[in-house]
Structure 1
Amino acid sequence: KNLVDSEHLAAHAQRHGWSIAYGLDESEGGTLILNTCGFIGDAKEESIEAILQAAAARSRGDIERLMVMGCLSQRYPEELSQEIPEVDAWYGVHDPLEILRALGCPTDDYDPTLRTPSTPSHYAFLKIAEGCDRHCAFCAIPAIRGGYRSVPIEELVQEAEQLQQLGARELILIAQELTYYGLDQRSPDLLLRLLERLEQVDGIDWLRLHYAYPTNFSEELIRWMASSPKACRYLDIPLQHISDHVLKTMQRAHGERMSRELVEKLRANIPELSLRTTLIVGYPTETEEDFRQLLDFVRQTRFDHLGVFTYSEEEGTPAASLYPDTIPEEVKQERRNEIMALQQRLSLENNARRVGQTLPVMVDHRLDEHTLIGRTEFDSPDVDGEVIIRDAEGHLAIGDLAPVRITAYSEYDLEGEPAE
């Protein structure tokens, strides 16, 4: 989501004469704007490390100006400005126009649909909403980014059309909670209407849904996923846990029964659906019995993709004030490792059944002269598996969507060759 914010900012600056490059190594001699994350401990540490690296470059004179924006500076503006004086200016998550004015750009012509992509041109993220109205006990996002605000459909369709003109064939829809789209406007059918409009954008082949909260799944949405030729048979649903006890203290709006019934319904109605979820282990109220229940759930459900976070106490959240973080870090890590070891075995078994199949594959990048890396519709970029394509004859190019025959597999990746 931060990436999309950066691309909007870059597009307007570029429109007014700035040359844009992404990455610290590309910014020598110019202005560097760092967009930070401040959601969990690891993300904060990574952001601070990047700021310190950039501050050192600023001190050496490698860059002329250093500006920091995003969640971390939204949460800790005073502390950061005192600790890292090399930064020229700090901005939060609601200050894009202020940043542009600091760059000398007029803002009366700001167009929220313009993007300068940082991803490969054949896929792009489409952020359909900002903020969140949920108040999960462990999460600081509502405090950082505010309440849920759905982006108007016409604006999103225009943005999608512009991304397609830049080469996008795949749109990855994201929000803090995708299935809440429109509910802030009392329009429960708005997400379906958006998807139907995006289907009509010529040149877009894949529509992928991320961050779908377990509630608010309509029958119409499930039917759309099952029937649309552009809908990836892929869904990312962050369940977080399966224990009713833990979910209640997390202040989640779903329990074990709803989670199991949703997974069963989705798989029954959407053939070959690839399911991704994320889980939290080591939450303060999680007992050994709760963890074993979660482990059994993962074993029974056989997710196609799974990520596990160890609980990170966030100041200002209900969990931080209600539940002391007493579970040792080594126990949290052991629990995470146990689930990921199980998932690795399950993923190996899931991938084995793909051998011999011919699947449409989106080619993402080239590894060497005769090898390319791509993805099936069952895999999202960066977080899921890849297809290693042996292309000795040079049939394929980056951005192609082509049939690939699967010939081998490993825990997370597949191998294949262009189908004749």
Structure 2
Amino acid sequence: MKKNTIDIITLGCSKNLVDSEKLMRQLEASGYKVTHDSDNPKGEIAVINTCGFIGDAKEESINMILEFCQAKEEGRLKKLYVMGCLSERYLKELQVEIPQVDKFYGKFNWNDLLSDLGKSYHSEFAIERHLTTPAHYAYLKISEGCDRQCAYCAIPIITGKHVSRPMEEILDEVRMLVSEGVKEFQVIAQELTYYGVDLYKKQMLPELIERMAQIPGVEWIRLHYAYPARFPKELFRVMREHDNVCKYMDIALQHISDNMLQRMRRHVSKAETYELIEQFRKEVPGIHLRTTLMVGFPGETEQDFEELKDFVRKVRFDRMGAFAYSEEEGTYSADKYEDNIPDEVKQQRLDELMAIQQEISAELSHAKIGKTFKIIIDRKEGEYYVGRTEFDSPEVDPEVLVKDEGQALKIGEFYTAKINDADDFDLYATIL
């Protein structure tokens, strides 16, 4: 056990990661040595930042807490603190169920941990953080919470109403990160398109992205988690006119049949969804669309599922993820609908949908053979340098593998690469 060392373990999404990075910076300012996500924790204090999104994520968080409780019981750990979404949502229950944890904090009051450690919050470092990503890219959280009331989603229960960060503060953070060597920004929020509505009384995402794009040193901006209803169309122009705004959009559509969209309370129709996708492709030529779809929502008929499969075949998403409905207590669908689709049917639908997409992804990847792309190198792994194109977000999208033939590529640098080969997941390239 190392004295004065704190291990931070982050579970869940990149939005949680940003909170962990901010906490790490504060702890370092208070004189602690901080490590992140170490498989081999050595500190006398551990902080677990939990996820509470769906069943699997909650289970992973609980298992991680119990693992560290055991370390504490065996004398390998002095103090254990838990923060994040799961403890925001189940604070009272967790305090009773897992008394070995020294203290639980929610999603927004983790600063209190500092005073509980006898330290004070350094407001002069409010926008600073200790990056846990490779030095050349960072996640940029522009808001917290969500005002959309989708039937299945527990996020508003956990995070509360949508709260945008002031634009100037975000731009200051971008400038500061650029000065530290960050070139690529993954812009994230629970719901991007709502940005600014609370502060400025209108959707301000296009203006924010345009102003970001004008900051010298910002090479790539990529947008994550947009919502299809009332999409801010001005964003098309911004993407088209600024080369450093990646032609990439992560927009969770969930379903396509009007029956499902209505039951899910998505406030968008099948026709509007098709129209939006068409507009994206017309206004931003070459755009790569990533989406997430859901199967097995209460009341999903065979007909609904057929429509969904048809949608995936027609639209040919560049990137697609899918998951089976999991009932979340406190949500509209948990109160109003019976979770009436058997697990094996959900799983079968999920497998079927992903098989269609895998074929499409493979075809789209193979279509890139012979083409050249600007890529950024993330790391070296075995005999390959591993990079990405502007159409690939870290952790979730395909990668570009460049065989090390003694060309000494630099991590975090851009290169022009020609694609020679592709498999279902990755592209293989040589540097020109």
| Deviation sequence 1:210-251 (CA, Å, 0-9, x none) | 001112323321111111111101100000000111111111
Distance change (3 Å), C-alpha of 1:316 and 1:110: farther
Question: In the alignment, is the contact (CA less than 8 A) between 1:242 and 1:293 conserved in 2?
Answer: yes
Query: Hey, what does 1:61 align to over in structure 2?
Result: 75
State the Cα distance separating 1:253 from its structure 2 match. Answer: 1.4
For the residues of structure 2 that align with 1:211 and 1:307, how far apart are their CA atoms?
13
State the Cα distance separating 1:77 from its structure 2 match. Answer: 1.6
Query: Hey, what does 1:204 align to over in structure 2?
Result: 218
Which structure 2 residues correspond to residues 180-329 of structure 1 after superposition, within 5 A? Answer: 180-329=194-343
SS in 1 for 2:387: strand
Question: In the alignment, is the contact (CA less than 8 A) between 1:277 and 1:305 conserved in 2?
Answer: yes
Query: Hey, what does 2:10 align to over in structure 1?
Result: none
For the residues of structure 1 that align with 2:29 and 2:425, how far apart are their CA atoms?
41
For the residues of structure 2 that align with 1:102 and 1:172, how far apart are their CA atoms?
33
| Deviation sequence 1:101-128 (CA, Å, 0-9, x none) | 1222212635431111111111110000
TM-score scaled by length of structure 1 = 0.97
Query: Over aligned residues, Cα RMSD in angstroms?
Result: 1.3
Q: Which moved more, 1:191-200 or 1:325-334?
A: 191-200
Q: Which moved more, 1:389-398 or 1:144-153?
A: 389-398
1:118 to 132, 147, 166: 132
Distance change (3 Å), C-alpha of 1:357 and 1:395: farther
2:409 to 367, 379, 396: 396
State the Cα distance separating 1:52 from its structure 2 match. Answer: 1.4
User: Is 1:385–2:414 an aligned residue pair?
Assistant: no
2:150 to 133, 136, 141: 136
TM-score scaled by length of structure 2 = 0.94
SS in 2 for 1:21: strand
| Deviation sequence 1:182-211 (CA, Å, 0-9, x none) | 112344252222112211222220000000
User: Is 1:409–2:405 an aligned residue pair?
Assistant: no
2:100 to 86, 99, 115: 86
Query: Hey, what does 1:31 align to over in structure 2?
Result: 45
For the residues of structure 1 that align with 2:208 and 2:165, how far apart are their CA atoms?
10
Question: In the alignment, is the contact (CA less than 8 A) between 2:384 and 2:402 conserved in 1?
Answer: yes
For the residues of structure 2 that align with 1:216 and 1:103, how far apart are their CA atoms?
45
User: Is 1:74–2:88 an aligned residue pair?
Assistant: yes
SS in 2 for 1:3: helix
For the residues of structure 2 that align with 1:136 and 1:270, how far apart are their CA atoms?
28
Question: In the alignment, is the contact (CA less than 8 A) between 2:29 and 2:122 conserved in 1?
Answer: no
Which structure 2 residues correspond to residues 334-413 of structure 1 after superposition, within 5 A? Answer: 334-368=348-382, 370-413=383-426
The one-letter code of the counterpart of 2:385 is L
For the residues of structure 2 that align with 1:112 and 1:38, how far apart are their CA atoms?
25
For the residues of structure 2 that align with 1:141 and 1:110, how far apart are their CA atoms?
30
Which structure 2 residues correspond to residues 2-17 of structure 1 after superposition, within 5 A? Answer: 2-17=16-31
Which structure 2 residues correspond to residues 90-169 of structure 1 after superposition, within 5 A? Answer: 90-107=104-121, 109=123, 111-169=125-183
SS in 2 for 1:96: coil
Distance change (3 Å), C-alpha of 1:44 and 1:108: same
Question: In the alignment, is the contact (CA less than 8 A) between 2:239 and 2:247 conserved in 1?
Answer: yes
The runs of 4+ residues in structure 1 deviating greater than 4 Å are none
For the residues of structure 2 that align with 1:267 and 1:177, how far apart are their CA atoms?
21
The one-letter code of the counterpart of 2:425 is Y
Residues paired across the two proteins, number:
418
Query: Hey, what does 2:6 align to over in structure 1?
Result: none
* Amino-acid identity (%): 47
Q: Which moved more, 1:377-386 or 1:200-209?
A: 200-209
The one-letter code of the counterpart of 1:196 is E
Question: In the alignment, is the contact (CA less than 8 A) between 2:295 and 2:349 conserved in 1?
Answer: yes
Query: Hey, what does 2:32 align to over in structure 1?
Result: 18
SS in 2 for 1:361: strand
| Deviation sequence 1:149-189 (CA, Å, 0-9, x none) | 10011111111122222221100001111011011234425
Question: In the alignment, is the contact (CA less than 8 A) between 2:292 and 2:322 conserved in 1?
Answer: yes
SS in 2 for 1:210: strand
| Deviation sequence 1:263-303 (CA, Å, 0-9, x none) | 00000111111100001100002111101100000000000
Q: Which moved more, 1:262-271 or 1:194-203?
A: 194-203
Distance change (3 Å), C-alpha of 1:376 and 1:192: same
Which structure 2 residues correspond to residues 38-49 of structure 1 after superposition, within 5 A? Answer: 38-49=52-63
Q: Which moved more, 1:235-244 or 1:396-405?
A: 396-405
The one-letter code of the counterpart of 1:401 is F
For the residues of structure 2 that align with 1:414 and 1:84, how far apart are their CA atoms?
46
For the residues of structure 1 that align with 2:249 and 2:38, how far apart are their CA atoms?
33
SS in 2 for 1:25: coil
For the residues of structure 2 that align with 1:353 and 1:129, how far apart are their CA atoms?
37
Distance change (3 Å), C-alpha of 1:122 and 1:311: same
Distance change (3 Å), C-alpha of 1:108 and 1:408: closer
Question: In the alignment, is the contact (CA less than 8 A) between 1:68 and 1:90 conserved in 2?
Answer: yes
For the residues of structure 2 that align with 1:225 and 1:106, how far apart are their CA atoms?
42
SS in 1 for 2:255: coil
The one-letter code of the counterpart of 2:421 is A
